[in-house]
Amino acid sequence: MAKQATAGRRYLRFFVSGFFVAVPVTVTFLDRWAYVARVEGASMQPFLNPEGVLEGDVVLLNRWSVRNYEVQRGDIVSVMSPRNPQQKIIKRVIGLEGDFIRTLGYKKRYVRVPDGHLWIEGDHHGHSMDSNTFGPVSLGLLHGRASHIIWPPRRWQRIQADLPPNRGPLYTDEDQD
């Protein structure tokens, strides 16, 4: 009986020490590299949630890839909402700093994306709170880049940067050089 109690204590000690190693490693991983998020709503349809909001896609958000604010047009990104800092939103990057954008219902018809900002939009116009509602978004609100759809299994895929037809900059600062 004493042998079982000693083995039980060793097992408990092993479990507790493993727990105190695993939790910080997991938290660091999620904070620095990647995490998963469920995409809710219709704003990114038809690319995300094509079956409707009842069966939402789950995406892998790569935090490491945006650590230096390096994104490209067509990337799907997670940002903290400019309207509600408690909420994260997932949208597509339409324009980068210096790009001139034709807006879809913003207070100005054409906008130059200021330095340190992005122009983001949902794919389902009219069903999206995006830059057409609140304007250019600060790069400081950037949280991650969606790299893969991981749920449901039939939709597993790597997400490529792709701009919808007729969306993108009219011209960029690079065109001026």
* Active-site residue list: 43, 91
| DSSP 8-state assignment for residue 68 | T
| DSSP 8-state assignment for residue 29 | H
Residue 18 CB partners (closer than 8 Å, separation 6+): none
Q: How far apart are CA 167 and CA 170, in angstroms?
A: 9
Q: How far apart are CA 138 and CA 147, in angstroms?
A: 21
In three-state form (DSSP H/G/I as H, E/B as E, the rest C), the secondary structure along 121-154 is: ECCCCCCCCCHHHHCCEEHHHEEEEEEEEEECHH
Residues 64/71, Cβ–Cβ less than 8 Å? no
